[in-house]
């Protein structure tokens, strides 16, 4: 039995047959460094997929910060400690000044669960609007606002799943401002249906770049309209920046791309480069109202090691100018895909912000019929040539790329050259 | 402004005025080592409170394991990796063989949330029984089974909060088997009330040592009766070992003290000595049924660093015989408190298992009227003398002690001698 087969057998016995894995033949990864992952046979892969190791796999400064703090003190936050305060000040300085308080959790699921609790507590309502192809996490409450895995219609009375804003397959063929208004009108309808059902409205949760929906180009003005409608109905707007945040989109936070200030922001995955850490940031009034009524405590949340690792991430991000770098290299990759599109009709749409890159593959550019199986062959073909990426979207036909931010010009060239080779084989 | 006052001001501004802290004057802790914590003035405190640093604060072997793995690879579990398999095999070997699969999360709250999801999915019911002074965590769903912070009666249709089994303030003055049966009869009543309300029964969640309820001596046979009643009604029994597990009670798992095999076990806090890690262990049939229907994935859960740290904890626990040590030293501490009780009428009850130690203080041994304010003075008096512990229970009159397991004879003597001094001042 091969090494992979033996590991798979053990894994199915211990974790279950459905514990998720990537690729037709899963990879056995043993080492990471910068933008590279290495398998058990010593083969290296250019990582164009993983957004958690934001400043690079095993970044020595992050490893040093967490190792040193773990050797000094790691205890909960019911004693005073400076690390959490120093980090919180730095973190909050990256937001609009109205977003001035932070609550720590360990995962994005926990952060979104607390955000829902804050929104429901502070509005007195229960009804939450989400988009219909999103995923916000895995707790009981957050699963209810995650239609990606249950289908487009929410079977929960307190949830309405509305169409995500899509410029490539637009509602009623609209475009521009009319498209933004048409998608925003879905929010009115959801709020009315809560009214009709006698369910108070608590707010809306959305990832500002709709990362799980396939990184659609968001119709200009949509998020501003959405925020206005949510506020007009007395609700709160939660921006889920768990995937999108921390500079990858070219700005520190993806809601800043759209010029909006949410009421609540959640963050997580890349926050401490892989150390389990996440947070909710909101206005002082909302946080105090929640904390006055609810005894919230998280044993591991905001502990000195988490804060030391997260602080090292912010230092590297700022010192190395990684947000601007992400914008520059991301634009270079998108340009390269547009050049490839001149020779490959399969490429229907190239989009994204910074080092969030989505490329939609279609069988025909007029009908825009999804090229789902070709997309899968691209993912597997790239892997066979040592490049890791994945696919998303309603039809599984959007190539999803979001490499560690130190992704350089040479890595972009390798990605594009290899992509050209793979596309030529289809 | 003093150092403490300045830190408090910053903390209130950044985290909110209600972010919880210990003690009238919070401690500013900067270093930990073994059973000791050190404040910013270099003063050391004997830590009789913290259960998370199970093998001691900043244990060098755990720090080395996590530092080395963090420098090598830290990535999610959708690639194959041996660390998670090796650790899972070791972990599962500590349970009854029927409990053969594990699902990883990052916190006890997440573990309990997934346990509720598994129980509800596999039974098709929604109704959950919990005890009326318990805390299982902070997600929306888990908060509903955590009456400690909302009062004794659950305001949620799908939750029934029943009296926890208390041998010191027993139901109707009963004792022995009759007391166990009387408390277990509350489970029948809760199941009947779900029936009456047309709510399907999913199961019961309880910490086998009722750590949040004040570490009551559990009436013999109660948990076995409870398990039988839950099963007879088609429900599943979730043992929350998030606080209790990993050897502290003298056995690896506190449900093993009671000779029961739960359907689902959750664990967390001490699992990786402070690295955020938690898990759900259950039967293969239940896990497969859940995973077949639900796409569960946790970005940080079971990552190589978490598993390396947790594996180091198991190695130290087994090699150093810490469960047996906890039993021996815990018995020594309880003996010492019983000797103190000969001179101090305040001590009403001394109880616990292993290095779970509860001491209930009363104003009068006949009436058992709680000595709440004296208990608070003991906690503060011990802190003033360099010993950290805390209090719990319905009346806040139970001293709660659960030191790191390397707590030795000399530390027990220091705790007891100092306790004698403090009791003499009251």
Pick the CATH number of B3-55+321-425 from 3.40.50.300, 3.10.310.30, 3.90.1150.10, 2.30.42.10: 3.90.1150.10
**Residue A266 backbone dihedrals phi, psi, to 5 degrees:** -110, 150
Integer angstrom CA distances of residue B265 from B204, B271, B354: 12, 13, 20
Which residue out of A11, A19, A88, A150 would a mutagenesis test of the B interface target, given it has the greatest number of B Cβ atoms within 10 Å?
Answer: A19
Q: Judge if B3-55+321-425 and B60-319 fold alike in CATH terms.
A: no
- pLDDT > 80? residue B139: yes
Residues B387-398: tens digit of each pLDDT: 999 999 999 999
DSSP state of B215: -
Closest CA in chain A for residue B139: A113
Give SS3 for A361: strand
- pLDDT > 70? residue B134: yes
Residues B369-390: tens digit of each pLDDT: 999 999 999 999 999 999 999 9
> DSSP characters for A9-41?
HHHHHHH-TTS---SSS--BEEEEEBTEEEETT
* Contact residues, chain B, for A72 at CB < 8 Å: 30-32, 58
Q: Which of A389, A377, A380 is nearest to A414 (CA)?
A: A389
Res A240: pLDDT: 98
Pick B107's closest partner by Cβ from A52, A269, A298: A298
Res B41: pLDDT: 96
Give the distance from residue B313's alpha carbon to the nearest chain A alpha carbon, in angstroms. 14
Closest CA in chain A for residue B388: A79
> DSSP characters for A407-425?
--HHHHHHHHHHHHHHHHH
Give SS3 for B31: strand
Residues B284-301: tens digit of each pLDDT: 999 999 999 999 999 999
Pick A70's closest partner by Cβ from B30, B63, B102: B63
- Encoding tokens for residue A143? 């699963």
Q: In what order do the strands lie in the sheet with A36-39?
A: A29-33, A36-39, A44-47, A387-388
Overall pTM surpassing 0.95 (yes/no): yes
- pLDDT > 60? residue B1: no
Res A268: pLDDT: 98
Closest CA in chain B for residue A287: B16
Res B161: pLDDT: 97
- Encoding tokens for residue B408? 């030795």
- Give CA A380 to chain center in angstroms: 23
Residues 6+ apart with CB under 8 A from A368: A168, A169, A348, A362
- Encoding tokens for residue A80? 């005073």
- pLDDT > 70? residue B53: yes
* Contact residues, chain A, for B28 at CB < 8 Å: 79-81
The verdict on a CB contact (< 8 Å) between B77 and A19 is yes
- pLDDT > 90? residue B120: yes
DSSP state of B216: P
Q: What is the 3-state secondary structure (H, E, C) of A288-321?
A: HHHHHHCCCCCCCCCCHHHHHHHHHHHHHHHHCC
Which residue out of A44, A300, A307 would a mutagenesis test of the B interface target, given it has the greatest number of B Cβ atoms within 10 Å?
Answer: A300
Q: Find out whether B136 and B110 touch, Cβ atoms under 8 Å.
A: no
Res A153: pLDDT: 87
Pick the CATH number of B60-319 from 3.30.1300.10, 3.40.640.10, 3.40.50.10420, 3.40.50.1000: 3.40.640.10
Average pLDDT over chain B reads 97
Pick A7's closest partner by Cβ from B21, B80, B116: B80
In the block, which residue shows the tokens 């088609």? B234
Domain boundaries, chain A: 3-55+321-425, 60-319
Report which secondary-structure segment, H or E, holds A230.
Answer: helix A222-232
Give the distance from residue A59's alpha carbon to the nearest chain B alpha carbon, in angstroms. 8
The verdict on a CB contact (< 8 Å) between B107 and A108 is no
Which residues of chain A have a pLDDT value below 50?
none
* Contact residues, chain B, for A306 at CB < 8 Å: 276
Residues B93-107: tens digit of each pLDDT: 999 999 999 999 999
Q: Which of A76, A83, A140 is nearest to B276 (CA)?
A: A76
Give the distance from residue B345's alpha carbon to the nearest chain A alpha carbon, in angstroms. 32
Which residue out of B89, B97, B139, B238 would a mutagenesis test of the A interface target, given it has the greatest number of A Cβ atoms within 10 Å?
Answer: B139
For residues B123-137, average pLDDT: 98
* Contact residues, chain B, for A305 at CB < 8 Å: 274-275
Give the distance from residue A81's alpha carbon to the nearest chain B alpha carbon, in angstroms. 6
For residues B83-112, average pLDDT: 98
Percentage, residues of chain B above pLDDT 90 = 98
ipTM of the complex in this document = 0.97
Confidence of residue B153 (pLDDT cuts 50, 70, 90): confident
Residues B305-318: tens digit of each pLDDT: 999 999 999 999 99
Q: Find out whether A238 and A119 touch, Cβ atoms under 8 Å.
A: yes
Res A151: pLDDT: 85
Cα separation, A171 vs A163, whole angstroms: 9
Closest CA in chain B for residue A87: B14
* Contact residues, chain B, for A10 at CB < 8 Å: 85, 89
The verdict on a CB contact (< 8 Å) between B18 and A143 is no
Compute the count of residue pairs across chains A and B with CB atoms less than 8 Å apart: 297
Res B116: pLDDT: 98
Report which secondary-structure segment, H or E, holds B47.
Answer: strand B44-47
The verdict on a CB contact (< 8 Å) between B15 and A70 is no
Residues B344-364: tens digit of each pLDDT: 999 999 999 999 999 999 999
Cα separation, A406 vs B78, whole angstroms: 23
Res B154: pLDDT: 87
Q: Which of B85, B104, B80 is nearest to B299 (CA)?
A: B104
DSSP state of A96: -
Res A152: pLDDT: 82
């Amino acid at each position: 039995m091969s090494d992979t087969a033996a590991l798979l057998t053990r894994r199915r016995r211990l974790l279950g047959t459905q514990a998720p894995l990537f690729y037709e033949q899963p990879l056995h990864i043993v080492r990471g460094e910068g933008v590279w992952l290495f398998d058990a046979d010593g083969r290296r892969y250019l990582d164009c997929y993983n957004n958690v190791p934001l400043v690079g796999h095993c970044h020595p400064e992050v490893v040093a910060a967490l190792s040193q703090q773990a050797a000094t003190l790691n205890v909960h936050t019911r004693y005073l400690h400076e690390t959490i305060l120093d980090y919180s000040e730095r973190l909050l300085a990256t937001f609009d000044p109205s977003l001035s308080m932070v609550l720590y959790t360990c995962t994005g699921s926990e952060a979104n669960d607390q955000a829902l609790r804050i929104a429901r507590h502070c509005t007195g309502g229960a009804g939450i609007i989400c988009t219909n192809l999103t995923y916000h996490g895995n707790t009981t409450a957050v699963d209810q606002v995650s239609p990606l895995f249950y289908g487009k219609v929410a079977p929960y009375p307190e949830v309405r799943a509305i169409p995500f804003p899509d410029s490539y397959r637009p509602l009623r063929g609209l475009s521009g401002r009319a498209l933004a208004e048409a998608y925003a009108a879905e929010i009115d309808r959801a709020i009315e249906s809560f009214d009709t059902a006698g369910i108070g409205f608590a707010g809306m949760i959305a990832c500002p770049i709709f990362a799980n929906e396939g990184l659609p180009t968001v119709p200009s003005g949509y998020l501003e309209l959405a925020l206005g409608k949510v506020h007009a109905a007395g609700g709160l707007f939660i921006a889920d920046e768990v995937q999108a945040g921390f500079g990858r989109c070219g700005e520190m936070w993806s809601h800043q791309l759209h010029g909006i200030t949410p009421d609540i922001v959640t963050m997580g995955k890349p926050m401490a480069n892989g150390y389990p850490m996440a947070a909710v940031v909101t206005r002082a009034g909302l946080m105090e109202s929640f904390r006055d009524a609810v005894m919230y405590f998280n044993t591991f949340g905001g502990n000195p090691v988490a804060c030391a690792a997260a602080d090292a991430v912010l230092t590297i991000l700022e010192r190395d100018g990684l947000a601007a770098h992400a914008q520059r290299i991301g634009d270079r990759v998108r340009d390269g895909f547009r050049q490839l599109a001149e020779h490959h009709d399969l490429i229907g749409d190239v989009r994204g912000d910074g080092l969030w890159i989505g490329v939609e593959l279609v069988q025909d550019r007029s009908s825009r019929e999804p090229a789902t199986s070709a997309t899968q062959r691209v993912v597997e073909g790239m892997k066979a040539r040592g490049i890791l990426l994945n696919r998303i979207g309603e039809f599984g036909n959007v190539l999803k790329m979001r490499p560690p931010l130190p992704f350089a010009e040479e890595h972009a060239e390798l990605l594009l050259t290899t992509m050209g080779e793979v596309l030529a084989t289809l």
